[in-house]
Amino acid sequence: MSEKARRDCDWCGLRRICFPARLPTNAGMGPGALGIRGVQLPRGRALYRAGDRLDGFHMIRSGCVKEIERIAGNEAIVDFRLPGELLTVQGPAGTRSRITCVAVEPSNLCAVPWRSFLAICGRFPAVNGEMVRALAANAAGTRELLATVRDKAALERVAAFLASLCARMQVRGLPAQELRLGMGRDDIAAYLGLRSETVSRCFSELERRAVVRVRAKRVRILSAERLRRLARREGEARAPAVGHAG
């Protein structure tokens, strides 16, 4: 079982926490022995809600979840999480969640209790560093989103969104040319600080430019390179407008 788990977890961003060292398979380590629980979520179901007490942290294995937080009086989409990613860590054991976490498509997650985590930390000091690294990586992701919505025009934001999804699938070795967007246009718009109409217009514009092909929730990346350049506002000459002005 440990061998199989090891294989299943190979592509996971947190594998170094669950498998801190090259262990003999009979060392009793691995998800099961650590008290890590698997969780299945149907579409639309919440993993937890704002106000719930959390005694561990979560990681997603398949599907897609969105994290929502009430900030200054309105619901903000914090992030979408893809397979292999760590959900926002909000504090040590007993912390009340400020975030509601909902599956946008049927999803499969791991719940890691702090209790187990601390036990592993005691045995393998490097795990502490792995957690700091993982938290720092998530924070860097939020800063990147911040920079995107703060400094980029609509078309660039949408390009950056698609480029990000694509890149995140790739690093885990998952299919990245043909994306299935679990979320609707409204969610994408809220995430990027736009309106759903604008997101639509941007998708259309990207299609007109032959960068992607969009059919409802199915997106085919025609040129990841041009997508990335667009997202970085390099070349592509800042076209007069995104849609209706043409």
Partner DNA sequence: CGGTTCCTTGACACAGGTCAATGATTGTGG
Partner DNA sequence: CCACAATCATTGACCTGTGTCAAGGAACCG
Q: Which residues would be at the binding site for a second copy (CB under 8 A)?
A: 69, 71-74, 76, 78, 88-93, 95, 98, 114, 118, 121, 125, 128-133, 135-136, 138-140, 142-152, 160, 192-193, 231-234
Q: Cβ-count burial of 208 within 10 angstroms (0-12 exposed, 13-18 middle, 19+ buried)?
A: exposed
- Which tokens go with 207? 């299609």
200 makes contact with DNA (CB under 7 A)? yes
- Residue placing its CB nearer to DNA in the complex, 1 or 146: 146
- In whole angstroms, what is the distance from residue 87 CA to residue 81 CA? 7
Smallest gap from residue 157 Cβ to DNA (A): 7
Q: Pick from DNA, a second copy, none: which does 167 bind, CB < 5 to 8 A by kind?
A: none
Q: Pick from DNA, a second copy, none: which does 186 bind, CB < 5 to 8 A by kind?
A: DNA
Residue 155 CB partners (closer than 8 Å, separation 6+) = 202, 205, 206, 230, 239, 242
- Residue placing its CB nearer to a second copy in the complex, 131 or 219: 131
- Residue placing its CB nearer to DNA in the complex, 108 or 196: 196
- In whole angstroms, what is the distance from residue 125 CA to residue 57 CA? 19
Binding mask 203-232 for DNA (x = CB under 7 A): xx---------xxxx---------------
Beta bridge partners of 81: 65
Residue of 15, 81, 201, 226 interacting with DNA (CB under 7 A): 201
At 148, the amino acid letter reads T
2 makes contact with DNA (CB under 7 A)? no
Q: Pick from a second copy, DNA, none: which does 129 bind, CB < 5 to 8 A by kind?
A: a second copy
45 makes contact with DNA (CB under 7 A)? no
Q: Pick from DNA, a second copy, none: which does 138 bind, CB < 5 to 8 A by kind?
A: a second copy
Residue 2 CB partners (closer than 8 Å, separation 6+) = 25, 26, 27, 28, 29, 30, 32, 33
- In whole angstroms, what is the distance from residue 63 CA to residue 89 CA? 19
The neighbour count for residue 244, using CB atoms within 10 Å, is 8
- In whole angstroms, what is the distance from residue 83 CA to residue 60 CA? 5
Smallest gap from residue 197 Cβ to DNA (A): 4
70 makes contact with DNA (CB under 7 A)? no
The neighbour count for residue 167, using CB atoms within 10 Å, is 13
DSSP state for residue 184 in the 8-state scheme: -
Token look-up 């992701």 returns 141
Stretch of residues binding DNA (CB under 7 A), selected from 49-57, 67-75, 182-190, 222-230:
182-190
Residues at the site binding DNA, with contacts judged by CB under 7 A: 153-155, 184-186, 193-201, 203-204, 214-217, 240-245
